[in-house]
Amino acid sequence: MYLNSEDKVKELKQQMKISPEKISIYLENFIRNYTNKLERNGTILGLSGGIDSAVVASLCKRAVGSENTLALIMPEKDSEKEHIRDAVNFARELNIEFELIDISKYIKSFGAYKLFTLNKLPLSKKLKRIFVRKAYDFYEKKTGKPPFLSSISGFEGKEFASYLKKTNAYYRIKHRIRMLLLYMYAELENKLVVGAANKSEYKIGFFVKYGCDDNADIMPLLNLYKTQVRELAVYLNIPFRIIKKPPSPDIIPGITDEIATGVPYEKLDLVLLALEKGWRNSRIAEVLELEEKKIIYVKNLIEKSEHMRKVYVPEIFI
């Protein structure tokens, strides 16, 4: 039977649908089972104020109880107050234990703030956001590539390599420090570290290798696309203020997920699913009403970020 573009979109969206109640029960059991299997007293997670970590916090509470769930809220001087406030308020709503740790001093001790050019100027956060977005647009117009695509591989021969290297070092250390703190507390409290990465971000390399969004004992959301995580969030009664916020890594002023990746999750997830099903680039572009170069861009992200999802080991034949 021939399906027109509209029918094909409906087909993709239908395949993207989940049963939130079944998924929730399954993930709660998954968390509980590994907590017991690895002989831990409970769970620990980084709570950012965003939707992914809020969903994980809610699942952990359901799995092991509020008294056995610890959240670390780890802002720094570039963090948006809105996200800090949402993280603290949500931890209180869940009635879980939390620690608020300002990691600015650790970042400063590495000299990382000095790597970001705008930190050398007396600018407000609002002005930093504006300048960062303008710089982002300028780079893309000048090179024909979004900075994100350039940043997930090496910089040999690339324009503005010096700025890209310093920017990567500046923002990536933040999530790596958060990972260190999570594991220190986990070992002191005998907790299981629960990560909050989702499939969409992981597939395109939108995470920090060896950061808190990459390293964990378990990753309950890693086989769920971002839009599926939103479905689950609605079922779990995550506050609407958290669900409706533009997703943001909150590590570079002014940069949201969509600005960084260049594709909204509603489209990105369908592209990723279609690629997974083996659809041709031209077919995906036609069905989703996107330029074919967007599909090629997403495929490039997947391919160029492969190194972030693995450690290369030589084959040895003796």
Task: List, for residues 208-221, the tens digit of each pLDDT value.
Answer: 999 999 999 999 99
Ranges of beta strands (E only) in the chain are 42-46, 69-73, 97-100, 191-193
Least confident residue range of 22-26, 158-162, 237-241? 158-162
pLDDT in tens, 36-80: 999 999 999 999 999 999 999 999 999 999 999 999 999 999 999
Is the confidence at residue 82, as pLDDT, over 90?
Answer: yes
Q: What are phi and psi of 31, to 5 degrees?
A: -65, -45
Asked if residues 258 and 269 have their Cβ atoms less than 8 Å apart, the reply is no
pLDDT of residue 20: 98
List the beta bridge partners of residue 46: 72
Is the confidence at residue 279, as pLDDT, over 90?
Answer: yes
pLDDT of residue 123: 84
pLDDT of residue 303: 97
Average pLDDT over residues 140-157: 88
pLDDT in tens, 130-139: 998 998 899 9
Q: Which of 212, 220, 131, 229 is nearest to 175 (CA)?
A: 212
pLDDT level of residue 3 (50, 70, 90 thresholds): low
Is the confidence at residue 297, as pLDDT, over 50?
Answer: yes
What is d(CA 182, CA 176) in angstroms, rounded to the nearest whole number?
10
What is d(CA 208, CA 179) in angstroms, rounded to the nearest whole number?
10
pLDDT of residue 4: 65
- CATH fold of 5-309: Rossmann fold (3.40.50)
pTM across the whole model: 0.94
